[in-house]
């Protein structure tokens, strides 16, 4: 039986929680570069892990804002692809059967929401939000944030210096990106819903990884939990490997997920 057929069968037999974890590969077809991927635009190929840190933001607030604004222009302009839409259909299909579903994305782009995903956790934050850098401020961690669209960037765009970095309207501290930086923790902000992710990892009856290398914290945690409990797990990605307890589906997410929908008979399946 081919891997996609095995996944189709596993889904048909699962009425409990289906946990899907997506990574940058899901959004590649929408024109957003991956991080650890091998495509020419892969962000990590530029060795920018030092830029995505609290440390760098504190050293060079304007530089941090410039880098993110340059990247987020493409991120926020992107549109969902067939893979995002297929995951929406999978959610609807599973819930309509009386089952449970949760999509945990490592992506900070807004494409799952734009496609229509409802049972969604953005565990690394969102490009559509910023927050106060002052811990405990109403608009900062652990609960607060501001919609990026509400922040006036006119002065900073005209002259990107530290003095023009946007400031919190509540307390006057510098605003920062509402994303999980490399020197931060998943439980650093309640919007990341880390407790919900832990609960899902401990109760899922089927796990699907899509467009991710399974090499960062949340994927490792979910993989280990599935392996320990003997839960079926599948990895959809062109570079997918048959890791312990994981069936590799070495196909691009936007292709495999649409094919999966066709096999399951989703009403919105498309070629």
Q: Which residues are catalytic?
A: 124
- Helix-strand-coil percent breakdown of the chain, rounded to 5? 40, 15, 40
List helix spans (H) across 116-252.
154-158, 194-203, 217-229
Query: Which residue is it, tokens 């914290």?
Result: 217
User: What phi, psi does 101 have (nearest 5°)?
Assistant: -150, 140
Count Cβ atoms below 10 Å from residue 157 Cβ, excluding itself: 12
Q: Which residues pair with 234 in a beta bridge?
A: 208, 247
Q: Please give the Cα distance from 183 to 63 (Å, whole number).
A: 17
SS3 state of residue 24? helix
Count Cβ atoms below 10 Å from residue 84 Cβ, excluding itself: 28
List helix spans (H) across 126-212.
154-158, 194-203
- Do β-strands 175-179 and 125-132 pair in parallel, antiparallel, or remain unpaired? antiparallel
Q: Do 222 and 201 touch, CB atoms closer than 8 A? A: yes
SS3 state of residue 54? helix
Q: How far is CA 95 from CA 119, 144, 153, in A?
A: 10, 30, 41
């Amino acid at each position: 039986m081919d891997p996609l057929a095995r996944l189709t069968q596993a889904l048909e037999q699962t009425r409990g929680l289906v946990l899907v974890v997506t990574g940058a590969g899901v959004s590649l077809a929408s024109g957003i570069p991956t991080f650890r991927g091998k495509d020419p635009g892969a962000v990590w190929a530029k060795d920018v892990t030092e830029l995505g840190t609290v440390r760098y933001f504190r050293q060079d607030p304007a530089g941090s804002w410039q880098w993110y604004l340059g990247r987020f222009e493409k991120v926020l302009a992107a549109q969902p692809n067939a893979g995002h839409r297929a995951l929406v259909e999978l959610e609807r299909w599973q819930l309509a059967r009386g089952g449970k579903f949760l999509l945990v994305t490592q992506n900070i782009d807004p494409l799952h929401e734009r496609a229509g995903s409802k049972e969604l956790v953005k565990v690394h934050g969102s490009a559509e939000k910023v927050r106060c850098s002052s811990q405990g401020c109403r608009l900062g961690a652990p609960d607060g944030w501001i919609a990026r669209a509400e922040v006036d960037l006119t002065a900073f765009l005209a002259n990107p210096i530290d003095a023009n970095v946007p400031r919190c309207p509540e307390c006057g501290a510098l605003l920062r990106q509402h994303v999980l930086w490399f020197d931060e923790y998943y439980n650093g902000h309640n919007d990341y819903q880390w407790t919900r992710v832990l609960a899902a990892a401990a109760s899922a009856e089927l796990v699907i990884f899509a467009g991710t290398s399974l090499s960062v914290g949340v994927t490792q945690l979910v993989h280990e939990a599935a392996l320990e409990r003997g839960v079926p797990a599948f990895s959809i990605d062109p570079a997918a490997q048959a890791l312990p307890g994981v069936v590799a589906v070495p196909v691009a997410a936007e292709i495999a997920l649409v094919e999966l929908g066709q096999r399951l008979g989703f009403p919105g399946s498309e070629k």
